[in-house]
Amino acid sequence: MRNAFIAKLEHGAELTDADRVALDDLTRLARKVGPRQDIVRQDERPDTAHLVLEGFACRYKTLENGSRQNVSLLLPGDICDLHVAILDVMDHSIATLSPCTIAFIPSATILHLMEHHPRITRAFWWSTLVDEAIMREWLVNNGQRPADQRMAHLFCELLVRLQVVGLADASGYELPLTQYEIASTLGITLVHVNRTLQSLRAADLVEYKGRRLTIPDVERLNAYCDFDAGYLHMTERYDAMWRKSKVV
Amino acid sequence: MRNAFIAKLEHGAELTDADRVALDDLTRLARKVGPRQDIVRQDERPDTAHLVLEGFACRYKTLENGSRQNVSLLLPGDICDLHVAILDVMDHSIATLSPCTIAFIPSATILHLMEHHPRITRAFWWSTLVDEAIMREWLVNNGQRPADQRMAHLFCELLVRLQVVGLADASGYELPLTQYEIASTLGITLVHVNRTLQSLRAADLVEYKGRRLTIPDVERLNAYCDFDAGYLHMTERYDAMWRKSKVV
DNA sequence: CGCTGTATTGACCTCCTTCAAATGCGGTGG
DNA sequence: CCACCGCATTTGAAGGAGGTCAATACAGCG
């Protein structure tokens, strides 16, 4: 799983072996972090970027009344805060959800990579843009779809994102989230997550037992929530993969 | 208003006169565009970036059932799609809302600027990051706040963003949006926008007559929706401005 | 085997949607 | 100047999706 990261970046640029070595080096900066730990807190001025190697993490914001909204999920292979040097203070927090392995990358290292590896720079840019695209889709998802489709859409997105880094097979993946965490991702209540999950199960759209999510019929789930993976911009390579599995 | 754009970028980097001249040159690429016109459509591969000089525009996505979600509002001074060359196809559309003046900037020009003007590059990066921060806040806003606070929060955000480019005074601004457009920004119904607006009016939190929005007591509106301008990252200069007006 | 956190269920309530009709208003042509 | 059209705003009534509160069941773990 170590190189989930590189596997993902390959979608954004044609890397050379030298690039791969340089990227692989980053994994030396790995550290284990327990579940539910803040990595960076709002208002701080971090001087390292972060790369998730194992586990699920997230960006989130909390408001007065204590309610919390996750604004993105960080999966293995996701790198964040490449821009460390540009914005003044964090406007949100980053925390682990499950136990994680995370590489802490000094901003100097990022800058060095950017100077000497144009393809990596491009891949970093690409990765940032994909993150943005995902946020846009979440805005649409959370704004326009009813809870059941909304949840289905999230599951579809995670399937693709995890497949890209080899952490999902054709029909399912480990999903180490509590219902509360799903709730604060989808902008609905914990209680309602529970009921929604049951309705998806009842419709045979998903199974979800013991942290493992299984999708009996991916096509059907996609159709159910109007999911189109285009916004993930993993097309080229992913498309090939996808078509293969689609030929049934 | 021409240089709203530069005024805004100054928040992201210390520009030199040469930088300003180069940026000002971009305004030569301006073109008038009528209201409700698509500038770039989903699935296209544009080769120009866009800079809004006058009027309101937006990024949006539409889904099957015809419902629409605006995923960002583009105000004068906002530049978008700097990355033109990196992502394959647009995963969303961009359209004018009110009549606009928009500069169409060839990607070659962008690249040229980035090569010869490091401060502009930095300012561009910064601008992209602010756009992301705004999306995060929208996710929180749309996910966790009831309609009235949600709308109030949008109004507060627009006040700050328009002040930065000189298009709002201390207590109000021109808001050339229909209620339908507000609805698809906030992820609520047109009908409900109307009633929500009435309730905000009834509470004397805003006035909204003939396209002009007035906020009788900015502090109170901020408090009402728990608005904190931090995420807009306009601090340094803006803070000074703000404190001045705050001294009553 | 009890403790703690997560999942589940029930009853009730309300915010927001839906559908449908009415009102207002700026522009245009007679 | 008025009649008329299209578009935006407003209002009403009714229903439903999702929220709130609170209790119970369950599972992993020390």
- CA neighbor of B62 nearest in space, from A149, A229, A140: A140
Q: Chain A: which residues have CB within 8 Å of chain B? A: 12, 43, 59, 61, 63-64, 67-69, 71-72, 83, 86-89, 91-92, 122, 125-126, 128-129, 131-133, 135-140, 142-145, 186-187, 226, 230-231, 233, 235
Mean pLDDT, range A132-155, rounded to an integer: 98
Q: Which residue of B has its CA nearest to A93?
A: B136
Q: What is the pLDDT of residues A61-94, one digit of tens each?
A: 999 899 999 999 999 999 998 887 677 799 999 9
Residue A88 in tokens: 């003044």
Residue B79 in tokens: 């530049």
Cβ of B180 near strand D (distance < 7 A): yes
CB within 8 Å: A63 and B133:
no
Q: What angle do CA B230, B233, B239 make, to 5 degrees?
A: 70
Nearest amino-acid residue to D9, taking CA and C1': B194
Contacts of B43 in chain A (CB under 8 A): 230
Confidence of residue A41 (pLDDT cuts 50, 70, 90): very high
Q: Mark residue B36 as left, alpha or beta (left: phi above 0; alpha: psi -120 to 50; beta: remaining).
A: left
Q: Which residue of A has its CA nearest to B186?
A: A143
Residue A167 in tokens: 């952490």
Q: Which residue of A has its CA nearest to B61?
A: A140
**Of A86, A133, A140, which has the smallest distance from its Cβ to B129's Cβ?**
A86
Predicted confidence at residue B236, as pLDDT, reads 54
Predicted confidence at residue A236, as pLDDT, reads 54
Distances (CA, A) of A75 to A36, A112, A151: 15, 25, 17
Spatial distance from the CA of B212 to the C1' of D5 (Å): 26
- CA neighbor of A230 nearest in space, from A97, A148, A137: A137
Distances (CA, A) of B227 to A65, A188, B58, B95: 13, 21, 22, 27
Interface test with B, best of A139, A144, A226, A228 (most B CBs within 10 A): A139
CB within 8 Å: A136 and B89:
no
CB within 8 Å: B137 and A83:
no
CB within 8 Å: A136 and B88:
no
The alpha carbon torsion through B183, B184, B187, B190 (nearest 10 deg) reads 30
Question: What share of chain A has pLDDT > 90, as a percent?
Answer: 83
SS (HEC) of A200-217: HHHCCCCEEECCEEECCC
Confidence of residue A207 (pLDDT cuts 50, 70, 90): very high
pTM of the entire predicted model:
0.94
Spatial distance from the CA of B190 to the C1' of D3 (Å): 30
Q: Which residue of B has its CA nearest to A187?
A: B143
Query: How far away is chain B from the Cα of A102, in angstroms, using its nearest Cα?
Result: 23
Predicted confidence at residue A237, as pLDDT, reads 47
CB within 8 Å: B136 and A135:
yes
- CA neighbor of A50 nearest in space, from A93, A20, A16, A89: A93
Q: Higher-confidence residue: A7 or B69?
A: B69
Contacts of A89 in chain B (CB under 8 A): 230
Predicted confidence at residue B84, as pLDDT, reads 72
Burial bucket for residue A121 (CB in 10 Å: 0-12, 13-18, 19+): middle
Per the prediction, chain A carries an average pLDDT of: 91
CA distance A81 to A242: 30
Q: What is the Cα B142 distance to its own chain's centre?
A: 17
Q: Which residue of A has its CA nearest to B130?
A: A87
Predicted confidence at residue B51, as pLDDT, reads 95
The alpha carbon torsion through A183, B143, B8, A42 (nearest 10 deg) reads -40
Cβ of B195 near strand D (distance < 7 A): yes
* Strand-pair partners of A209: A212
Contacts of A86 in chain B (CB under 8 A): 12, 122, 125-126, 129
* Contact (Cβ atoms closer than 8 angstroms) between residue B145 and residue B152: no
* DSSP conformation class of A91: S
Predicted confidence at residue B235, as pLDDT, reads 62
- Nucleotide lying nearest to B36, CA to C1' measure: D7
Contacts of B186 in chain A (CB under 8 A): 143
**Of A64, A92, A233, which has the smallest distance from its Cβ to B136's Cβ?**
A92
Predicted confidence at residue B2, as pLDDT, reads 53
Contacts of A125 in chain B (CB under 8 A): 83, 86
Cβ of B200 near strand C (distance < 7 A): no
* Contact (Cβ atoms closer than 8 angstroms) between residue A232 and residue A133: yes
Q: What is the mean pLDDT of each run of 10 residues along chain B (248 residues)?
A: 81 93 94 95 93 96 94 96 80 96 94 92 91 97 98 98 95 96 98 98 94 97 97 67 41
Predicted confidence at residue A52, as pLDDT, reads 96
**Of A43, A132, A142, which has the smallest distance from its Cβ to B132's Cβ?**
A132
